[in-house]
Amino acid sequence: MQPNLEEVFGLASRVRVLQSIVEAGEIHITGLSRKTKMNNTRVSRQVEVLKELGLIEEERYAGIRMFRPAFDSMVVVFEKAHETKVEVNSH
């Protein structure tokens, strides 16, 4: 399933969380909160949406939730007279 543009980029906070996860490669909630300068609750909310969209994966290490991108690349395609789409290339 390819997510739609509004689902992925509808909120600036969601974009910041996704960008931080991609840049880090793997990161936990506290690290995301520090990097994005958002509280843990807000970060957790965005992480859940990104997981539901299939854009990030979660793994637990000794009780610590770690998140990483579930894709190799993401491209937003704007075509004249066509619907804008998000193309996600997964590993």
Q: Is the pLDDT of residue 60 over 90?
A: yes
Contact status, residue 86 vs residue 74, Cβ threshold 8 Å? yes
Predicted model pTM:
0.83
CB 3 within 8 Å of CB 50:
no
Tell me, what's the pLDDT at 52?
92
Number of domains in the chain: 1
Q: Which residue segment(s) compose the domain that 14 sits in?
A: 5-89
The pairing of beta strand 27-28 with beta strand 85-89: unpaired
What's the CATH code of the domain at 45? 1.10.10.10
Sign of CA dihedral 61, 63, 64, 70: positive
Q: Which residue has the higher pLDDT, 54 or 4?
A: 54
